[in-house]
Chains A and B, each alone.
Chain A
Amino acid sequence: MTTPLAAMPIGTGSQLVIAPMLVVLVAAVGSLLFSRWPRARMAVSLAGGAGYAIAVAAIDWYVVLAPGAPGIATYQVGDWPAPAGITLVADGLSAFMLTMVAILGIASLVFSTRVLPEIDPRSYYFPLFHFLALGVTGAFLTADLFNLFVWFEVMLMASYVFVAYYGGPQHTRAAFWYVALNLLASAVFLLGVGGIYATTGTLNMADLARRLAEPAAYGIDLGPVVGLLAMLLSVFAIKAGLVPFQFWIPTAYRAAPPQITALLAGATKKVGIYAIIRLSFTVFAGAQISVDLEAPIVGAVVSGPSPLAFVGAVLFAMATASILVGGIGAVGRDSIEGVLAYSSIGQVGFIAIPVAIAATASSAELRHFAIVAALVYALNHTLAKGLLFLAVGAIRSATGTSRLADLGGLARRSPPLAVAFFVGSLALVGIPPLSGFFGKFLVFYTAARAELAPVLGLLLVGSLLTIAYATRTWNRSFWGARTSAVEEATVDPVQVGVLLALATVIVAVGVGFELVYQFAEAAAAAALDTDGYVDAVDPLEPSELEAAGEDAGGGEHA
């Protein structure tokens, strides 16, 4: 049994890949152990956060950014090689996503240590925080479809508790619908996974990509694959909060503690986006199947040589609706987090538009460029929306409210808070030299290069709506006469420090955009490099695979 396994070549294997997961798992268990000593628990949590950042930075450097870096690293869990074992993969795309989450996660964690005394310090807040991070990290790193489902559940379980965290009437209600929706989504996810296993005989993403590229060699019928991909897409769209799956977002975002909402908007949402990009472009793009659908009412025709044509059409529709619903919804909200929650729906549309353009692009160059645009925009959204939700937390702990009607004149009361909020709003709107400018510019430029005039118009409308609600929120809460709530406000210096640090990151990303762009390009290249992914994860030729399977005496591949 051991000889054929040992004889199998294993790609650019590296234990570094599991480092962030191990660190965050140890932090979660460690903070569970210190439940009686809140201070020690905070120290363990912060150390875990720092360790996580270091591990992610190490992956960024050794796998992607260093000169001569391999660009992809794999870790075969338990030394069981793919496709039967579980493989963890860190490539450019995973590293990019992990970096976003790490920056926001640290900010949210430090922020949490300052809000927590108000809540019960002995609650399970910190272990849950780390389990949420563990689920997100696992989802970014796994190369196995069922394992992706498991990490989704880990992430969701923690987020369920956070949505119900305060335990008031509106929190329990929001949490119940959030749980119910996600349980249904999980069932659909399982249906998709089961169907894919039945049609292709594998769940390893690399193996799946290889089999889909040569269906005849493996006796696969490609027809059902498009439908199964559609099922998975709907699950990921729920996680990403794309219209028509957006309805849970406003209530859940309002119910969760603001520093967790920052993570829900910045990290959990991006897991959905990541899964869409990874599955559509790395895994399913190689399937040669002519898609030919005609939409009866609008008369549009969806056609193309791969399932991407279908993905592109669906994403276009969902992104268009998201931008409009989110933008229009945000203009009329009466609390800051309501505005931001609807804004999240709109902004995820801005991320999905370039992904849709990439899916329908005719040239490889445009496809690559469109994914870069989507990633840069996602980075900006994570930073800006994270900052703004944390700012809501700071405003709430200072004034006790976040209703626009009860706020006013905050700018004079706490200029640093105002500066941070202002930077976040400008990044959302897309003013140079902040990160938002490049995100927005790249998305517009992608649409222009794809020569899609209606999409350009849509993006313009979406941007105007962004300006409208950002200005309205700013005017209502930071300018004008001071209300009694603002008059009595005491702003926590550490909270504002976290906000200013995030604002500095936003400015730094804009000023040093050259490096960020290179990173995003590496990430997009990794997302599109199916062959590289397959070679690294599962580097066997089909003939070798069968030989190895027979040697090992396993009947799993039958």
Chain B
Amino acid sequence: MTAFLLALVVGALFALGTFLLLRRDLIRVVWGLAIISQAANVYLLAMGGVAAGTADTVPVLAGHGEHVPETADPLVQALVLTAIVIGFGMTAFALVLSYRVYEEHDTLDVSELGDRE
């Protein structure tokens, strides 16, 4: 069930990201890129698999003798953490750059940008 839900979320995010990427507004393009990079992160998490935890794998969560929740692969969690940091950094840079593009070109319309030399 979790896997099915994750697949659905990844698919929806990629669809939304691609849709925004194809817009004429530069800010929407940046949003599209941000969403696609987050979609890749969710996908990465899904690829590690979400499995029932045991007291060995999640000692903190299982510490009080309660129900042990499902957890994602710890290696993948580490990878995603790195990918998120990189993704946010890049998105921030892309946003700053689009502001600079606006300053230089006085427009955020992609098709007008392409025409000017």
Contacts and interface: CB of A to CB of B under 8 A. Distances in A.
Interface of A: 84, 146, 149-150, 153, 157, 160, 164, 167-170, 172-173, 175-176, 179-180, 183-184, 186-187, 190-191, 193-195, 197-198, 553, 555-556
B89 interface: yes
A168 B104 contact: yes
Contact of B36 (A167, A169, A175, A184): A184
Q: Give the most central of B46, B75, B89: most A CB within 10 Å.
A: B75
Nearest to B102: A172
Given A150-B82, A555-B56, A190 B104 contact: no
Contacts of B91: 183
Contacts, number: 95
A169 B116 contact: yes
B11 interface: no
Q: For the complex of A and B, list the 8 residue pairs with the smallest distance between their C-beta atoms, beginning with the closest.
A: A194-B47, A198-B47, A190-B40, A194-B44, A187-B40, A169-B104, A183-B33, A172-B101
Contacts of A197: 47-48, 75-76, 79
A403 to B, nearest CB: 13
A453 B91 CA distance: 48
Interface residues of B, number: 40
21 contacts: A84-B75, A150-B82, A157-B93, A167-B100, A172-B97, A172-B104, A172-B105, A176-B26, A176-B97, A184-B21, A186-B37, A187-B39, A190-B83, A191-B43, A193-B79, A197-B47, A197-B79, A198-B48, A198-B49, A553-B56, A556-B74
Q: Give the most central of A84, A176, A556: most B CB within 10 Å.
A: A176
Contact of A150 (B86, B100, B104): B86
B68 interface: no
B58 to A, nearest CB: 10
A381 to B, nearest CB: 29
Contacts of B26: 176
B49 A172 contact: no
Contacts of B7: none
Contacts of A184: 21, 33, 36
Contacts of B98: 176
Interface of B: 21, 26, 29, 33, 36-37, 39-41, 43-44, 46-49, 56-57, 73-76, 79, 82-83, 86-87, 89-91, 93-94, 97-98, 100-101, 104-105, 113, 116-117
A30 B46 CA distance: 41
Given A173-B113, A176-B98, A190 B33 contact: no
B57 to A, nearest CB: 5
A150 B105 CA distance: 33
B76 A157 contact: no
B47 to A, nearest CB: 4
A389 B65 CA distance: 67
A183 B47 contact: no
Contacts of B39: 187
A183 B89 CA distance: 11
Given A170-B117, A172-B104, A194-B76, 19 more contacts: A167-B104, A168-B104, A169-B105, A169-B116, A172-B97, A173-B113, A176-B94, A176-B97, A183-B36, A184-B21, A184-B36, A186-B37, A187-B37, A190-B44, A194-B40, A194-B47, A194-B48, A197-B79, A556-B75
A179 B97 contact: yes
A53 to B, nearest CB: 29
Q: Give the most central of B29, B57, B104: most A CB within 10 Å.
A: B104
A191 B100 contact: no
A84 B37 CA distance: 25
A375 B73 CA distance: 39
Contacts of B86: 150, 153, 186
Given A172-B104, A176-B98, A184-B33, A157 B40 contact: no
